[in-house]
Amino acid sequence: MHKKHEPVPINAAEYGSHFLKWWKDIQPDWRIQGDLLCQSIPDSDKSEVWASLRKGGSAGLYMVVIALSWWLVALGEDDNKEAWVAVEDITWVIWQVCILSSSNGRKHGWDMTDPEEGRRKQ
């Protein structure tokens, strides 16, 4: 069995396209807008907004981060816009899932222009 913290030998270009497809496939339906992933959270039942990604262990965001890290390691010094767009989107999702978890189901958005400050959107 392969240790998750050790990068696997992969073809970065091939892996990247598979990773992006998988990332899109595990998104809640409300995020899918053609080839883009929506970053505007619906006002529907807050407990269900991130249900498909609020899983622990290898079925949840932990595995997404590990899989993304394998892609980034395989890219090495190569600059790949798709990879960095994925990093930004996954970062946004993690912030949103954490906010929802810490707010007992109340929806809050964060201004991702300055994530270190963690400023709430007004």
Residue with tokens 């600059």: 79
Query: What percent of the chain is modeled with pLDDT above 90?
Result: 30
Q: What is the pLDDT of residues 10-20, one digit of tens each?
A: 899 999 999 99
Q: What is the pLDDT of residue 96?
A: 87
Give the contacts of 63 (CB within 8 A, at least 6 positions apart).
4, 57
Q: What is the pLDDT of residue 117?
A: 47
Q: How many CB atoms lie within 10 A of CB 74?
A: 20
Supply the pTM of this predicted model: 0.73
Q: What is the pLDDT of residues 35-81, one digit of tens each?
A: 888 888 887 655 577 777 877 766 688 889 999 999 999 998 888 89
Averaged pLDDT for residues 72-99: 90
Q: What is the pLDDT of residue 49?
A: 76
Q: What is the pLDDT of residue 12?
A: 92
Q: What is the pLDDT of residue 59?
A: 67
Q: What is the pLDDT of residue 3?
A: 67
As given in the structure block, the two tokens for residue 22 are 């998988």
Query: What percent of the chain is modeled with pLDDT above 70?
Result: 70
β partners of residue 33: 36
Q: What is the pLDDT of residue 14?
A: 94
